[in-house]
Amino acid sequence: MAEDIISLIRENVIQGRVTRDDEGLDGGMVGQPGVTELTEKALATGIDVRDIINKGLTEGMKLMGQKFEEKAYYIPDMLSSAEAVGTAMKLLEPHLAQSGIKPKGKVLLATVKGDLHDIGKNIVTILLRGAGYTVKDLGNDMEPQSIVNAVREENPQFLGLSALLTSTMVNMRDTIQALEESGLRDKVKVIIGGAPVSEEYAKSIGADGYGSDGFQALAVIGSLTST
Ligand code: B1M
């Protein structure tokens, strides 16, 4: 039952179907539950929110990416899928929040210069907020100097950088260098994530941590909090 619902969520992310009123990219699906109705059903059935996010939404976007590579779908199709994931995350957000917990620390998050991919960063934002961190989302396509200015103004404990393009991951290194040049590097712990980056890359550019997904980012920030 749980696997069936998660598999339908995946399929409907690929089809870019927000609600039951949507046709779907391949057409003919009006009336069948979309990502909104399926996510509501998953929550009502007691399916772990982590599985909904990792096995349903994130996996659906990955499969959509493969179809994009195969040229079966195009950029507007990816945007429909992105809208479906964003809508589901809004439904899941209240279930991640643990009421009554004290803020754990402040995190600034940004997608680096040249990169417009923000779905992963938005998921990390929601998970961190749900876990009690105060998160300021700086947005995407963020110049190193703008990030440095925000770190100076906001004085966060953590800075999270996201990149999805091999051509923009280098801007994570430039951002860390800009922090060093401005004398702020030792005031903030830097965590990086996104499909093209790795633990090794994080080490090579002098980041303090790497998260392979949103939950890993949470775990890494948690472990750095206690060091
Ligand atoms: Co683009 N895109 N895209 N895209 N896109 C990719 C990344 C690509 C792999 C698709 C492909 O060709 N196969 C490819 C990159 C190739 C490369 O660099 N090697 C690509 C390309 C080429 C492009 C364009 C250049 C296409 C074009 O215009 N010709 C263009 C670039 C625009 C730009 O940024 N300047 C482009 C545009 C777009 C859209 C705007 C259409 C759209 C983005 C919409 C949006 O974000 N608002 C889009 C999308 C949706 C994708 C794919 C399909 C999905 C990305 C995604 O959202 N994944 C992607 C293909 C794929 O991934 N297979 C692709 C789901 C998301 C939840 O996962 O972002 O990995 P992810 O985040 C995860 C983890 O990585 C991690 O946690 C998240 C949750 O688990 N994580 C962190 C992320 N950030 C983290 C930070 C952390 C810790 C963990 O700590 C701080």
CB of 224 closer than 6 A to ligand 1? no
State in Å: Cα 164 to ligand 1 middle.
5
pLDDT of residue 129: 77
pLDDT of residue 100: 43
State in Å: Cα 120 to ligand 1 middle.
8
- How does the average pLDDT of the chain come out, rounded? 91
Rounded to whole angstroms, the Cα distance separating 105 from 102 reads 9
Model confidence band, residue 227 (pLDDT cutoffs 50, 70, 90)? low
Nearest to 190 by CA among 166, 152, 162: 162
Higher pLDDT, 197 or 225: 197
Higher pLDDT, 69 or 13: 13
- Residues 6 or more apart whose CB falls under 8 angstroms from that of 157 comprise 105, 106, 107, 188, 189, 225
Pocket test for ligand 1, best of 73, 106, 117, 171 (most atoms within 8 A of CB): 117
**Mind listing the domains of the chain with CATH numbers?**
2-96 (1.10.1240.10), 106-225 (3.40.50.280)
State in Å: Cα 54 to ligand 1 middle.
15
Model confidence band, residue 99 (pLDDT cutoffs 50, 70, 90)? very low
Mean pLDDT within 96-115: 77
**What is the distance of C-alpha 149 from the center of its chain?**
23
Rounded to whole angstroms, the Cα distance separating 91 from 99 reads 16
Query: 52, 120 in Cβ contact below 8 A?
Result: no
Half-sphere exposure of 191 (CA within 13 A, CB side): 29
pLDDT of residue 64: 87
* Predicted structure pTM score: 0.81
The separation between the first and the last C-alpha atoms of the chain, rounded to the nearest angstrom, is 42
State in Å: Cα 41 to ligand 1 middle.
28
157-193 pLDDT, tens per residue?
999 999 999 999 999 999 999 999 999 999 999 999 9
Ligand 1 atom having least distance to the Cα of 166: 18
Answer yes or no: is pLDDT of 101 > 50: no
CB of 65 closer than 6 A to ligand 1? yes
CB of 86 closer than 6 A to ligand 1? no
In Å, what is the CA distance from 98 to each residue of 52, 102, 194?
18, 10, 26
Ligand 1 atom having least distance to the Cα of 163: 84
CB of 160 closer than 6 A to ligand 1? yes
Q: What is the DSSP string of 128-189?
A: HHHTT-EEEE--SSB-HHHHHHHHHHH--SEEEEE---TTTTHHHHHHHHHHHHTT-GGGSE
Ligand 1 atom having least distance to the Cα of 214: 77
Answer yes or no: is pLDDT of 98 > 60: no
11-49 pLDDT, tens per residue?
999 999 999 999 999 999 999 999 999 999 999 999 998
52: left (phi over 0), alpha (psi -120 to 50) or beta: alpha
Q: Which residue has the tokens 């303090």?
A: 208
CB of 78 closer than 6 A to ligand 1? yes
pLDDT of residue 130: 62
Q: Which of 131-135, 150-154, 190-194 shows the lowest mean pLDDT across its residues?
A: 131-135
Q: Where are the alpha helices (DSSP H) in the chain?
A: 2-14, 35-45, 49-51, 59-69, 75-96, 119-130, 144-154, 170-181, 199-204, 214-225
